[in-house]
Amino acid sequence: MIKFENVSLHRSQRCLLNHCDLTIEQGGFYALTGDNGSGKSSILQVVLGQLGVSSGTIIRGFGHGDYSYLPQKNQLDIQFPMSVEQAVMAGLWQKFGAISALKSKHFERIEQALHEVGIAHLKQASINQLSGGQLQRLLFARMLVQDASLLLLDEPLASIDQKAKNILLDILKAKHQQGVTILITLHDAGLVKRYVSQQLHISDQKVHLCQADFAHSDDCCRLPIRQMAC
């Protein structure tokens, strides 16, 4: 569980959140929506502890290795001389660490994850040979092998085609059904409606919690089912 208590957040002297309370329940599938610059990515960074808040308290019910984060701007160095399989292997760090040997079950897990995202045929390809969409699938595969209990995804579907979007969202849906907590920033109202159970909409320095069925309808942000105290 993640809890924001009376949190204010500023970036570059601009107020993004003003005395907000917010609770992310364990096992929930949340979509974080809002206009560009409303603070979606910043909230994810606050959750991770990468960004400090101006005031208020954050309670994080997770530790190092319990979460997996897919940032908006991919930080994987695509010129790094490694194969797709090796790049996905990085997700297994918690299992093999700095010294332990990799076992066959680890390679099987990688193979399975690559199958799930549909790039198993590229296992031995160098990562600099991948297209933008294939790279995004690779990052998803790396996230899957982590078996993290909390997934934080910052606009992960921006650079991929519709078919790949559906595949990746189906994977997230399956993860949610297994009890994984998911917090994802999305722009596509249709996808929010179809896949996500709860929507956190940011507007006017406030976060509104609405059921995703109401997402982007006029009622959602005026009369949220439960408006967070902001």
Partner 1 sequence: MIDLVLSPFIEFEFMQRALFGCLLLSINGSLIGVFLLLKRMSLSGDAIAHAILPGAATGYFFAGLNVLAMSVGGLIAGVLVAFLSGITARKTNTSEDSALASYYLCSLALGVLIISMKGGSVDLLHVLFGSILALDNDTLYLLYFNSALCLLGFCCCYRFLVMDCSDSVFFKGLSKYSGYSHYLFLFLLVFNLVAGFHALGTLMAVGVTVLPAATAKYWSNRIEGMLLIAFVVAVVGALLGLLSSYYFRLPSSSAIVLWLGVFFLLSVLLGTQGGVLRLVERKAKLNEEIL
Binding site for partner 1 (CB under 8 A): 48, 64-65, 67-69, 71, 75-77, 80-83, 87, 90, 93-94, 97-99, 126, 128, 142
Which CB, 142 or 176, lies closer to partner 1?
142
Q: Where are the beta strands (DSSP E) in the chain?
A: 2-11, 14-24, 29-34, 55-60, 67-70, 150-154, 181-185, 198-203, 206-211, 226-227
As a whole number of angstroms, the distance between CA 189 and CA 182 comes to 17
Which CB, 5 or 147, lies closer to partner 1?
147
Minimum Å distance from CB 96 to partner 1? 8
> What residues contact 36, with CB distance under 8 A and at least 6 apart?
none
Which CB, 135 or 169, lies closer to partner 1?
135
Which residues are 17's β-sheet partners? 9
As a whole number of angstroms, the distance between CA 64 and CA 56 comes to 22
Which CB, 89 or 220, lies closer to partner 1?
89
